[in-house]
Amino acid sequence: MKSPDSIRVLCVDDDPRIVEGLSLHLRKDYQVLTALSGSQALERLKEVGGAAVVISDMRMPGMDGASLLKQVMQLYPDTTRILLTGEPGRDSAVSAVNTAHVFRFLLKPCTPEQLRSAVEDGVIQHRLVIAERSILKETLIGCIKALVDVLAITSPAAFGRASRVKRMAMGFAGKLDCGHFWQLEAAAMLSQVGYLSLPDELTEKLHCGEPLSPQEQTLAAGAPDVVNSLLENIPRLEPVIQILTALKWTDEQIARLGDGTIGLGTRILGLVLEYDSLTSRGITAAEAVQTIGLRSPRFGAELVEKFGAYAAGTTNTAAELRELPLSAVEPGMIIMQDVRTPRGLLFVARGFEVTGAFIERIRNFGEDLLNRPVKVLLHGKAAAAASR
pLDDT tens digits, one per residue of 334-364: 888 888 888 887 888 887 888 777 887 787 7
What does the alpha-carbon distance between residue 376 and residue 290 come to, in Å, rounded to a whole number?
A: 28
For residue 33, pLDDT beyond 90: yes
DSSP code at position 351: T
Average pLDDT over residues 242-250: 91
pLDDT for res 243: 92
H/E run at residue 80: strand 80-85
Q: Where are the alpha helices (DSSP H) in the chain?
A: 16-26, 38-48, 65-75, 90-95, 112-154, 156-175, 182-190, 200-208, 214-231, 238-246, 251-255, 261-280, 285-293, 296-299, 301-312, 356-362, 367-370, 381-387
Q: What is the pLDDT of residues 141-191, one digit of tens each?
A: 777 777 777 667 777 777 778 888 998 999 999 988 876 788 898 899 888
Q: What are phi and psi of 4, to 5 degrees?
A: -55, -30
| Domains of the chain listed by start with CATH number | 4-129 (3.40.50.2300), 155-315 (1.10.3210.10), 316-388 (no CATH)
Cα(180)–Cα(170) distance, integer angstroms: 8
- CA-CA distance, 12 to 22, in Å (whole number)? 9
Beta strands 31-35; 8-12: pairing state: parallel
Q: Which of 281, 249, 283 is nearest to 267 (CA)?
A: 249
Q: Give the pLDDT of residue 353.
A: 81
pLDDT bucket at 1, cuts 50 / 70 / 90: very low
Nearest Cα to Cα of residue 326 among 345, 313, 339 = 339
- The model's pTM: 0.61
The amino acid occupying position 319 is A
- Which helix (H) or strand (E) element contains residue 54? strand 53-57
Q: Which DSSP state fits 260? A: S
In this predicted structure, what is the pLDDT of residue 130? 82
Q: In the prediction, which pLDDT does 383 show?
A: 44
Whether residue 381 is predicted with pLDDT greater than 50 in this model: the reply is no
Query: What is the four-CA torsion angle of 261, 267, 268, 270, rounded to 10 degrees?
Result: 130
pLDDT digits (tens, 9 = 90+) for 218-236: 888 877 777 777 777 676 7
CA distances from 347 to 73, 277, 337, 344, 361 (A): 46, 20, 11, 9, 11
pLDDT in tens, 102-136: 888 888 888 889 899 999 999 998 888 888 777 76
In which band, very low, low, confident or very high, does the pLDDT at 379 lie, cut at 50, 70 and 90? low
Cβ atoms of residues 88 and 102 within 8 Å = no
| pLDDT higher than threshold 60 for residue 98 | no
Nearest to 15, CA basis, from 58, 77, 52: 58
What value does the mean pLDDT of the chain take?
82
pLDDT higher than threshold 50 for residue 317: no
DSSP secondary structure code for residue 135 in this structure: H
User: 388 pLDDT exceeds 50?
Assistant: no
**Does an H or E element contain 82, and which?**
strand 80-85
**Rounded CA gap, 334 and 326, in Å?**
12
| Residues 237, 186 contacting (CB under 8 angstroms) | yes
Pairwise pLDDT comparison (366 vs 68), residue with the higher score: 68
Pick the range with the lowest mean pLDDT from 98-102, 183-187, 247-251.
98-102
* Residues 6 or more apart in contact with residue 258 via CB below 8 angstroms: 74
The reported pLDDT for the residue numbered 4 is 47
Give the least confident one: 79-83, 116-120, 316-320, 350-354. Answer: 316-320
Beta strands 334-335; 352-353: pairing state? antiparallel
Q: How confident is the model at residue 2 (pLDDT cuts 50, 70, 90)?
A: very low
- Is residue 259 pLDDT above 70, yes or no? yes
Average pLDDT over residues 288-301: 89
Task: Answer whether 205's CB lies under 8 Å from 158's CB.
Answer: no
Residue 111 and residue 82 in contact, taking contact as beta carbons nearer than 8 Å: no
